[in-house]
Structure 1
């Protein structure tokens, strides 16, 4: 372990410095704005509670992006160390561990995840930790199964994706290494993981399995694009200069019976992603595991390949370019996370101007998505705006606007659901971030609806939506 830390800490420390320097970036990401405004709860319709709790807690200390992103930076650092550990567990020497740490730390998607506090940001190191502890249990000491079970159980409070990896582990052991299933430590770890997951699963069951409904909504919205773009996204997310190492990792992991499950788990996540059509980045962590396995082969990516991959990854995944130049590059189209950080102060200021011009102190703000609602919640009070309402995801289960609110400033296309329910609805302006970045809010209408003719109890269910 000491050897691995010595090999990996230069990459981890460099990543920490880069992420810290760039942590303010272009501004808040829409998911961060959403997480910080969610009320305390055991779970939400679109995800378990961990990431919203963490973002809300850090924002409660210092309500700025850089503070919220300290957790993302730490997650990225831990992930780099874990990749070196996986390489060591697979027999890689110190040089191989060093290459795994540098390559994994500055690969495409891990760099991006280290910059913003998203659900996937924390899935990445937890999944790597489960893989590492499973390898240690199979190759060194079966007591590591307890740690693997502990981490797998806790992971269900962030996202219900790791069970797919665990299923791959089980299938791989059943097919290729059944003797491992005789270990009392394996079953003890499985029991511990199941016990820890029970409260989260009970919450899901008592709320009619909202994660399944959310999965269907993601599939309805993303399935075609996900299936078409999946190979391109996976290559870009790891980095084109590391693809050869990933392919070597498949061969290395398949060579012995106690590591073939890694290939099975990676393939299962790819198949799950393709069939579900949810989010194309889901398999990236397992590809990083295969990269680490490729490093253990002894045929290492050359230094210039690692540098080139890091440069491309940082240009695409981090806020390196001035925001005024961003629209002149393909980066917003390649990295929606960057685009989703641009323009929130300008957008909220424009909404505030419309609200002021509406001339009704009881008017409420209704937004089409949680990013807009979160931006109004964070930036609106300084401009005199009231709290925002939205029917998007978990916000749709919160109480509707008060009955005395008869004037509504509507951001986005939610106005369509209000047609016929107000005397008048008129588009008064369109949002403009001022730098030409084409993101979800750029150009959307801001409308003023007056003279509500239906009760909010009737309107609110029509405004709820998952995506």
Structure 2
């Protein structure tokens, strides 16, 4: 079976592209503010464990490390996220090299990755997807090396990477599963007849075991979370899947990854990599998963498509430059905090994550105004109860500057970290995205005392601030009834 030769790695220009992208991310990393997920990770990093209700431990650990080394600020938090994206861009170029790309093809692959909306978006802030993307790219690189060389020892590298990735997010099983299915369908099947495959599985299992054990000991809560997400958002995710596959990477890159797909399909040794993408899409659509679950494999196809695009680039150099500039500008506009915060409503309909980074200090200030309506002599036994982890994280971060007490939440792992003592028999200030009679039935004499007015149309805009006299039962009794997994 014919495999392409491997050319020298274009290290200097590829690293230059990656560093330039990292510089842009660094320059913009302090704008707007923390994302709601980042506020959650900051608190989770103070409660390090082998697992959490909604995720494995790696991202909270990285958050803790980044803020410890680089400072407990928005910019300090995001340093390792930026470095992860820099590494991702380099790995995409290395994948292109494995597909036979010479110097120019590798550089174009790095540029395409650097200007794609998905890479910029997850590189700007800390999320599980940030480190998941790098893991998927490494898995793609090692899988291509395995198929190109037929050397089963690459299964060990795949297993090592998958094991570490499983400590960050379970989604890593999707690309590996899609590749295995594709290998069974179109081959080359001989790579599956290797003891190295079992060794790789063993390595992955050993690394992932601590978190799997934690999930087992706690009743597999992450399955409950995943089921709730699918039930709540599954239909919308299916409807928007194909449009977002195009939009979230960049519409301008569509010809590149289409060319990459057909290029790989024409090569028997690489055909399974091409097939893995549609197989993965079918799985994600079936379970109602989010569109970005399949996006990393598109970057592999982009890496494959850059070499055949060089002929077009040579014939249409001006058009090619304009296309790359437009890709960079549109991706940056919709994924990075370029616009003034007050103008972010322009991009929020396309990328709601922009709005989730704006207004948290003001949000806490409005909660403090509602808290001031509690008589001073009742505040020692009063409680602030936040409806979700973003609100709770913001109150942990900014509440002390307003002399607010510790806030509590029953959302995700916040429910495990702390609950109000039964001695808190006084008023309860509820922070609710929307008022819910069933939820408020656990409290007595509730009335709304304020509404969050956000400067952008984010999830918190219009949140109700509801003051209740007390809980209907002691906190230790009512707490399990308030638990929220999604």
How far apart are 1:188 and its partner, in Å?
2.5
Q: Is the 8 A contact 1:417 1:463 kept in 2?
A: no
Give the structure 1 partner of residue 59 of structure 2: 51
How far apart are 1:238 and its partner, in Å?
1.1
Q: Does 1:40 align with 2:48?
A: yes
Unpaired runs of 5+ residues, structure 2, are 1-6, 314-319
In structure 2, how many angstroms separate the alpha carbons of the residues matched to 1:43 and 1:265? Answer: 30
How far apart are 1:249 and its partner, in Å?
1.1
Partner SS for 2:466: strand
Task: Summarize deviations over 1:43-102 as a string: whole Å, max 9, x none.
Answer: 111111111121133234522111111111011101100110000001111111111101
In structure 2, how many angstroms separate the alpha carbons of the residues matched to 1:423 and 1:12? Answer: 57
Q: Does 1:147 align with 2:153?
A: no
Q: Is the 8 A contact 2:8 2:102 kept in 1?
A: no
Q: Does 1:121 align with 2:137?
A: no
The within-5 A match list for 1:77-226 is 77-140=86-149, 141-175=151-185, 176-226=187-237
Give the structure 1 partner of residue 16 of structure 2: 10
Give the structure 1 partner of residue 244 of structure 2: 233
Q: Is the 8 A contact 1:171 1:264 kept in 2?
A: no
How far apart are 1:28 and its partner, in Å?
0.4
Unpaired runs of 5+ residues, structure 1, are none
TM-score by length of 2: 0.91
Q: Does 1:460 align with 2:466?
A: no
Partner SS for 1:428: strand
Q: Does 1:320 align with 2:333?
A: no
Q: CA RMSD in A?
A: 1.8
Greater shift, 82-91 or 128-137, is seen at: 128-137
Give the structure 2 partner of residue 276 of structure 1: 287
In structure 1, how many angstroms separate the alpha carbons of the residues matched to 2:289 and 2:52? Answer: 18
Q: Does 1:294 align with 2:305?
A: yes
Task: Summarize deviations over 1:425-457 as a string: whole Å, max 9, x none.
Answer: 111110112x2x111101111111113331113
In structure 2, how many angstroms separate the alpha carbons of the residues matched to 1:189 and 1:322? Answer: 48
Q: Given the superposition, is the C-alpha separation of residues 364 and 58 from structure 1 closer, same or farther in structure 2, using an over 3 Å criterion?
A: farther
Partner SS for 2:447: strand
Q: Does 1:309 align with 2:318?
A: no
Give the structure 1 partner of residue 316 of structure 2: none
How far apart are 1:201 and its partner, in Å?
2.1
Q: Given the superposition, is the C-alpha separation of residues 229 and 107 from structure 1 closer, same or farther in structure 2, using an over 3 Å criterion?
A: same
Task: Summarize deviations over 1:126-163 as a string: whole Å, max 9, x none.
Answer: 11001101211222354333212110111100001111
Greater shift, 2-11 or 131-140, is seen at: 2-11
How far apart are 1:458 and its partner, in Å?
2.8
Q: Given the superposition, is the C-alpha separation of residues 89 and 120 from structure 1 closer, same or farther in structure 2, using an over 3 Å criterion?
A: same
In structure 2, how many angstroms separate the alpha carbons of the residues matched to 1:147 and 1:451? Answer: 56
Aligned length: 463
In structure 2, how many angstroms separate the alpha carbons of the residues matched to 1:261 and 1:463? Answer: 47
In structure 2, how many angstroms separate the alpha carbons of the residues matched to 1:167 and 1:257? Answer: 19
Greater shift, 175-184 or 11-20, is seen at: 175-184
Partner SS for 1:427: strand
In structure 2, how many angstroms separate the alpha carbons of the residues matched to 1:372 and 1:340? Answer: 11
1:430 aligned to which of 426, 430, 451:
451
How far apart are 1:274 and its partner, in Å?
1.0
Q: Given the superposition, is the C-alpha separation of residues 418 and 251 from structure 1 closer, same or farther in structure 2, using an over 3 Å criterion?
A: closer
In structure 2, how many angstroms separate the alpha carbons of the residues matched to 1:397 and 1:277? Answer: 28
Partner SS for 2:462: coil
Give the structure 1 partner of residue 26 of structure 2: 20
TM-score by length of 1: 0.95
How far apart are 1:35 and its partner, in Å?
0.9
Greater shift, 81-90 or 1-10, is seen at: 1-10
Give the structure 1 partner of residue 398 of structure 2: 379
Greater shift, 115-124 or 271-280, is seen at: 271-280
Give the structure 1 partner of residue 317 of structure 2: none
